[in-house]
Amino acid sequence: MTDSTRRRFLALATAALAGVGVAGCSIVRGNGTSDASGPSTVASPLDESRTLVAYFSVPETDDPNDMTEEEAGSTHVVDGKVLGNTQYVAQLIEGRIGADVFRIETAEELPLDHGRLEDLARELQDADARPKLKALIPNLEEYDTVFIGYPIWWYDLPMPVYTFLEEHDFSGKNIVLFSTHGGNGLSGTVETVTEKLADSTVISNAFTVLRDDMGSAEAEVGDWLDNLS
């Protein structure tokens, strides 16, 4: 892959989070309310009261007009609102099963400029860094199933997602993965997460969607979820 192709790939896999109403320090309930209700008994894997959708994504723009090629490839516009590709998939899952939603954010804001973001992502990966997160899930014990979403950065999980995996105890939980990518699919991330979370059950049937196919993502997500339940 050439340097220019790598740059396009990272941008296209870097989903935006513009305009999402989810704070990094809170859970947004599937019914639109915030914070948490008490724990319940263990139910089916996709029981909405026991399921959380956590996702990481970085906005490069929130303006639907005059996007650059990189910005357009990394976003999906819905009713005039710019959503990142990974954000959009997370919202589709939330809307379909009514799960709660948690946004994974770094404590230090990441650059929105494409070139700087790309360079930083590579530097973090080369250093095997674990960027500090703004917040952790405050009530993880209440959930049986956690969906974890991410873009593919340089053929791997973004390094903040490594931080997220390592700073939570997912023991005994069902883990369902979903991602967006620019041409390299899941890039071995299911195996990576399975190894990292050895005490949880990582569902092998992960979802991934190519940036060029975001228009069909709603139907694809629906079919995928039907096969999970």
What's the rounded Cα separation, in Å, for the pair 213 and 15? 14
Using a 10 angstrom Cβ sphere, with 0-12 exposed, 13-18 middle and 19 or more buried, the burial of residue 168 is middle
Helix, strand, coil content of the chain in percent (nearest 5):
35, 20, 45
- Average of per-residue pLDDT across 111-122: 89
* Domain residue extents for the chain: 3-35+45-228
Of the chain, the end-to-end C-alpha distance in Å amounts to 38
> What pLDDT score does 64 carry?
84
Tell me the average pLDDT of the chain. Answer: 81
pLDDT > 90: what percent of the chain? 55
Count CA atoms within 13 Å of residue 209 on its CB side: 29
pLDDT at residue 40 above 90? no
Nearest CA-CA partner of 101 in 58, 161, 148: 148
At 177-218, the pLDDT tens digits run: 999 988 989 999 999 999 999 999 999 999 999 888 878 889
What's the rounded Cα separation, in Å, for the pair 18 and 86? 11
Residue that the structure tokens 């639907």 belong to: 64
pTM (two decimals): 0.80
Mapped onto helix, strand or coil, the DSSP state of residue 151 is strand
Among the residue ranges 39-48, 92-101, 142-151, the one predicted with the least confidence is 39-48
CB atoms within 10 A of CB 125: 17
Superfamily of domain 3-35+45-228: Flavodoxin domain (3.40.50.360)
What are the beta bridge partners of residue 81? Answer: 78
Q: Which residue has the higher pLDDT, 100 or 36?
A: 100
Q: Are 220 and 207 in contact (CB under 8 A)?
A: yes
Mapped onto helix, strand or coil, the DSSP state of residue 54 is strand
DSSP assignment of 161-190, as one string?
HHHHHHTS--TT-EEEEEEEESSSTTTTHH
pLDDT at residue 19 above 50? no
Q: Tell me the pLDDT band of 42, cut-offs 50, 70 and 90.
A: very low
